[in-house]
Structures are given as C-alpha cells and as structure tokens.
Chains A and B, each alone.
Chain A
C-alpha cells in the first residue's frame, strides 16, 4: 500500500526505504527527537522531503489536491488551532464530503460537541475533533502523530480499535500500548530505523534497552542501571 524509496529530510531523517502492506497498523516508537515526527512528515510530503512515496501505486509528488485527500491524511502532534471554528466545520476542512464528515463525527461520538467552538473544548475533546478531521475523508493511509495523547484510557482503546485493519502509521510514546496494538513496530533512533518487525520480536530484542535506556523488570519499566554497559545498537 505504501512504497517509500530513499525518503529523507536533511538533518532530521536519514534516507530510508519502506514497504507497508494494506491494512497494517504500524506503530512508531523512539525517544524524543529520534525522528518519529520527521518520518511522518517525510511520508506526508511536509518540509520538502527527498525521495519517492507511492500510495496505492500513485506517486504522491504532483498528485492533484482532490486525489491527495483520498490517499493520505496527516494528524499533527499539536492540538492548537488559530481560528475559533466550530467543531463540525473543523472536521469538514480536511476535504471530506458532508456524509463522510457526519460519519466521522458519529464515530468519534462528537455529536453533542459538533456545534461548539473548538477553542472552548477541552484538549482531549479537541484531539477527538482533529482525529475525526483526519479520518473523515477515508484516506487510503493515515499518518498520525501521537493520536492517543490527551485521550482518556477508554478513548485510547476505542481509537486503537478503530485504527485496526486500516493502513496507518502511528507515532506514540507508550511502548506497551504500541506493542499491544501494532501489527508492526518500528523503533526510531537518531533519524534512523533502529528496529522494524513484529512487536513481540522487537520488544524481546536488545534494541529497546539500547535505544531508550530502559528495561522491563517484574512487568515494570525502569531506567537501565549504569553498570549495564555502553549504549550501543546491535
């Protein structure tokens, strides 16, 4: 579904090539500044990335605007909006039809909030409105930067369930949630892919400790002890 060749952002993301099959939920994890957002930016065509990205066989570069909204949606990590639009109008801004916007509002249970100004909603409610905006045009691929941030536990679960079965790349910080929901887990480190594979394999390998400097002991994460040796990638 996604075919990326030599995609790079100067100074932020080393050149990388990836293929992602249809219907796969790919979670991106990595420390702050490791390149999760940069990878999503590069795939969404933000910041003049180098390389080629194809979605459903269509090269993104130069694709007409109307077709592009059917191919991909990007949700930024920021939940701020400059203009005090009503929630319903925000959802419609992403290029969705009226029926699609209505369906997205229903899916995110925003009905009672639809007529309210977005700057008067709580951060979590605003997140749901912006997620609905990203989902509404029913794009082939979703690129979501920390969609679960600010959501309550129930909504985090509901959202991940909604994403299941869709082609999506999702950056997140919660390692356990990422491992639990992802079909494929990508670990980013210093602008490169440090590990890429089924969540169980990646989580069991040494890369988590090497990249994050944490380890699991008795079911709880804790910082690596200084005696654990130098931080190096396998």
Chain B
C-alpha cells in the first residue's frame, strides 16, 4: 500500500470517527450548554460504544474476509457468503433459547462455536481450495441450513416479545449497546485481527500455490486451522453482540487488494481499515436517514453490498466458466 493511500485511509477513518461521535450535533450541543454531565454521558455511553462497535466489527469482517479469500484463493469467499455469520447467529440463538439472554459470555461462546462449526463444515463440503461455484454453493447450503434452524428456534420462542427482540438483533444493529458489550465483541475481535495480520506473509506466499508455499516452509494445514479459528472467534464475538451484518467482508478486501497490487495477504491490514470505514459510514447513513425510525444496519449494508456482489459475479463469469 502506498504511503498516500495509507494516509488517506487513516484521515478518512479519523473523520468518520469524529462524525460518528458528534453527528447529529444539534440536540447534543444544546445539551452540552444546559447539562454538560448528561451530554458527556450520552457521548460516552451511547455514541462511543456504537462507534467502537462499528469500527471493530467492520474491521473484523473485512480482515476475516481478506484472510479467507487469500486462503481459498477466491475473491468471493467472505464470512457472510460462506455461512460463517449465519452459523454464528444460529449458535447465539440456540444459546439464547437454551439459557436465555442473561449471560453475554454464553452468547459469545455459542456464536463462536456456531461460526467454527459453519467454517469446518465449509472446509469439509467444499475442500480446501474450492472452485468459486463449489464454494458459493456450499456456503449457500450452510447459510440456508443455519437460517432455517434459526427461524425454527425463533418460531419455538416462548413469547412474541422474545421473538421480536431476537429478530431485531438478527438484522444486525449497533444501537443501545453498552461499553461492556463493546468490550465483549471488541477484545476478541481485536486479538483476532492482530493475529490475522501476522499471517500476511504466508498468505502472500500461498498466491504462488500450495506446493510452493509449502516448499518455502509454510505449514498450510496449520495456516488453514489458524484462519478458521481466528475468523470464528472474531466474527462470532461480534455477531453475538451486534447480530449478522453482511457484505462488508466481501467488499472491503476487494478494494484493499487494489491498494496492495493484488497481494492477498498484505491486503488484510488495509481491508481492516476499509471495513471499519465502511461500517462506520453505513451506521452514519442509518442515523442520518430521514425515515422516522432507525433502519437495521445489516439491511443497509445488504442493500449497498448486494448490487456490488452481483456486478462482481457478472465480471467473474470467466472464472466460473473455467
């Protein structure tokens, strides 16, 4: 990544953090004039967690997307299209159904286990270096299965309120999360991102093919296992707190690779920055949209991401046809 591109990304990120914390300013500014303690509390307890979650969840999805794409040697692999986020959602819903929503740790563990299960199932179904079509079909099957089971768990929910709560959460939302909840999602995700960054070099070597990477001394099975576990940990922890958010993990790595001359491993870092930027911007859009009520952020990323995904598929027909 060139210095200029890096600087631009950081500058954009700082800008979006500032916007995310202080926009809309009108009511908050008025509050600062009358009751600065309360205004400060709003800033720290409402806007800060929301901003932090947007940044870390976006960065996690994008870093995981970049790593999974490099691993599968496939630009269409991403946590949502491979069923990882649906698996995490299922894990969390099942945990909530069994022991209730009272324990955030149990919810996180359930989501991480669900994500891990989905990724291992994907590896078993599609194989370690799957063709695009196989990968997407396997991911679709896993997503469909996890989605159906999630709906089943919701349909059996004890009360309609529980159903509504779970549904709202599933749609992906950053609203009304506490600082503690941000930490539950943020700490595992930050650790996972930092550890994924250390895999940039072997993943770049993997661009030369599995045989060459192995001849250079990289242990590919261990690499695969690490990426699967780190992705499950980070994405699972985020899904447990914010629900499933799609397409950031697909889109951000694609832009990131443009900054790294196509190097798949080196793209993890800029992908994380771009992912943070995208989700924070989407959240800003959700807040600014004059609709009277707040849209689930997952709906916004899907509305923006799906057309991008479609254009990507159209552009890559040659790859699938091969």
Q: Which A residues contact B (CB, under 8 angstroms)? A: 41, 44-47, 63-65, 68-69, 72-76, 78, 80-86, 89-90, 93-95, 117, 130, 133, 143
Contact = CB atoms under 8 A, between A and B. Distances in A.
Contacts of B218: 65
Contact of B216 (A41, A47, A65, A82): A65
A63 B212 contact: no
A85 B216 contact: no
A28 B211 CA distance: 19
B208 A93 contact: yes
A90 B74 CA distance: 18
B262 interface: yes
B73 interface: yes
User: Which interface residue of B205, B209, B216, B218 has the most chain A CB atoms within 10 A?
Assistant: B216
Contact of B263 (A45, A64, A83): A83
B215 A133 contact: no
Interface in B62-99: 73-74
Given A89-B261, A89-B262, A89-B263, A82 B214 contact: no
Contacts of A45: 214-215, 217
Given A85-B261, A85-B262, A89-B263, A143 B207 contact: no
B214 A47 contact: yes
Contacts, number: 68
A168 B211 CA distance: 18
A78 B209 CA distance: 9
A141 to B, nearest CB: 11
B215 A143 contact: yes
A83 B209 contact: no
B208 A81 contact: yes
A81 B209 contact: yes
A90 B261 CA distance: 11
B212 A74 contact: yes
A73 B216 CA distance: 7
Interface in B196-237: 204-205, 207-209, 211-212, 214-218
B217 A63 contact: yes
B45 to A, nearest CB: 44
A84 B263 CA distance: 9
Contact of A82 (B207, B211, B215, B261): B207
A80 to B, nearest CB: 8
Given A82-B74, A83-B263, A95 B208 contact: no
Contacts of A117: 262
User: Which interface residue of A69, A85, A86, A94 has the most chain B CB atoms within 10 A?
Assistant: A85
Nearest to A65: B217
Contacts of B257: 83
Interface in B235-265: 257, 261-264
Nearest to B202: A65
A119 B257 CA distance: 16
A86 B214 contact: no
A83 B215 contact: no
Given A81-B207, A84-B262, A133-B208, A44 B215 contact: yes
A68 B217 contact: yes
B204 A93 contact: yes
Contact of B215 (A63, A72, A80, A89): A72
Contacts of B262: 83-86, 89, 117
Nearest to A72: B215
Given A81-B207, A82-B73, A85-B207, A76 B263 contact: no
